């Protein structure tokens, strides 16, 4: 995680006046107290920014793990499309898989990789030689 350095109030004032400020700079410019309270304000704000940054990093890691585990599910999530999930040990899994295969073949979107993956599944071959 990258260390985030808060800009000084003076730096914020400068970019706000130039109308080039980020949301964080605008917030600091309008809200940072003067005097002793600014130290507590800046520490609490830094803690908040670090916390938000860690959540964003965790979200990115989760998405990458999903993409690595199942690229098609990640692709549908990215497109914000609804989809269903059928575990491989459900009794109707192979029926649904065959229906999808047939439909995609008719559309011309079933690839050689799709066929290899499908055949490996139905024959119990994990693809290893």
Residue 88: the pLDDT is 87
Residue 114 makes CB contacts below 8 A (sequence gap 6+) with 101, 104
User: How much of the chain, in percent, has pLDDT values that exceed 90?
Assistant: 50
Round the CA-based radius of gyration of the chain to a whole number and report it: 26
C-alpha span between 21 and 23 (Å, rounded): 7
Q: Average model confidence (pLDDT) for the chain?
A: 88
Question: Does residue 1 carry a pLDDT above 60?
Answer: no
pLDDT in tens, 15-34: 999 999 999 999 999 999 98
- Find which of 64-68, 75-79, 100-104 is predicted with most confidence, using mean pLDDT: 100-104
Q: What is the pTM of this model?
A: 0.47
């Amino acid at each position: 995680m990258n260390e985030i350095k808060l800009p000084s109030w003076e730096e914020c004032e400068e970019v706000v006046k130039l109308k080039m400020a980020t949301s964080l700079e605008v917030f600091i410019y309008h809200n940072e107290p003067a005097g002793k309270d600014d130290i507590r304000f800046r520490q609490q704000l830094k803690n908040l920014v670090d916390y938000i940054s860690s959540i964003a990093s965790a979200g990115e890691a989760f998405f990458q793990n999903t993409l690595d585990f199942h690229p098609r599910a990640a692709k549908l999530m990215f497109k914000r499309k609804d989809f269903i999930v059928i575990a491989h040990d459900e009794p109707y899994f192979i029926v649904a898989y065959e229906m999808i295969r047939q439909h995609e073949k008719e559309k011309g979107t079933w690839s050689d990789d799709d066929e290899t993956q499908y055949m490996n599944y139905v024959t119990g071959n994990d693809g290893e030689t």
